[in-house]
Amino acid sequence: MIRLDDVGYKKKGKHILEGVNAHVEAGDSICLFGPNGAGKSTLLKVMANLIKPTVGVRHFHPKEEKHPIGYIPQQVALFNNLTVKDHLRFYQKMTKKHSTNYIEEMKLKLGLNEILSKRVDQLSGGMMRKVNLAVGLLHEPEIVFLDEAFVGVDLAAKHDMLKWLNQLNERGVTVVFVTHDWHVINQLAKKMWILEDGRITDQVKMSEINHLSSQKIAEGTALSKMFALRMQ
């Protein structure tokens, strides 16, 4: 679905990404993992086409041309004085999305029906994150990019959000996300790309992580070792 060929990104003379070669299949669920400043958010934005790579090529082949991408930013990207209902209608209008069944199901699964008439600035942090997720998914995208979308979310809200994302993934929606939350990785990721200094140092399947041989762990980078040990 997305292929990155030798992608690099440079800002103010500094290499944020360098020589990234990777491939995202339809229906994948990939976690970008790495320390702060490794280039996870930048790679996510390059894949989402929010920024153009300075080197290399990004190939994207969606099934539908119209609005195939959903993006849930790190910040809560909502209008403060609007209600949840206003937000849903605003994004419906922007994306010209008229399928109400999907929206009704999403509202139900994320527990938004009780807060529809509440203004965003009256909501708890967890609820805001739910609305933030909902507006990014409103147009039934083929691929969703989530940048630290679970920060400050309580367990109950996290459970609803993960359940809904897993359901979408089972229906064929591709999910690519950045997080440091082990619980989210365990629940959602099928694959993991480990980044260090703007490069992908490891690409692992979650199903293989528990069966990694001690030799593989020893061969891997410090970060992948740490992660593998943590998972075991």
Partner 1 sequence: MRWVWKSMLFSKVTMVILLVLPILFLSLALPLFKSTVEDLQVPIMLVDSSEQTMVEELVDELEETEPFSLQVVNNLDLDVLARGEVEAIFEVTDDLETRILDGDTDELFTWYRHENSFADGLFKEHLASTLMEMIVKAESANLVMSQTDTFDWDEVFHYGQRYFEPDPIFQMDFQSFGEYGQEETHRQSEQSTAMYLLIIWTYCWLLMIYFTNYIYHWRGQQLFDRLSLYRYGRAKLYLYWIIVVLVIVFGFASVIGAILHSIDSQMVTWWQLMNELGPVLFISAVLILVSSLICRTRRGMLASTLSYLLGSVSVFWFISWGWLADNWFNYFFIPVWLL
Q: Give the footprint of partner 1 on this chain (CB under 8 A).
A: 45, 48-50, 66-67, 69-82, 86-87, 89-90, 94-95, 135-136, 139
How many whole angstroms separate alpha carbon 19 and alpha carbon 37?
A: 16
Residue in the block written with tokens 């030798």: 6
Nearest distance from C-beta of residue 19 to partner 1, angstroms: 25
**Distance of closest approach, residue 173 Cβ to partner 1, in angstroms:** 15
Closest CA to 6 of 55, 42, 60: 55
Distance CA 109, CA 129 (A): 14
Least separation in angstroms between CB 175 and partner 1: 16
User: Which of 149/204 has CB closer to partner 1?
Assistant: 149
Q: Which two tokens stand for residue 110?
A: 């994320």
Question: Which residues does 79 contact at the CB level (< 8 Å), separation at least 6?
Answer: 86, 87, 90, 120
Q: Find the shortest distance in angstroms from Cβ 130 to partner 1.
A: 16
Q: What's the token pair of residue 36? A: 């702060």
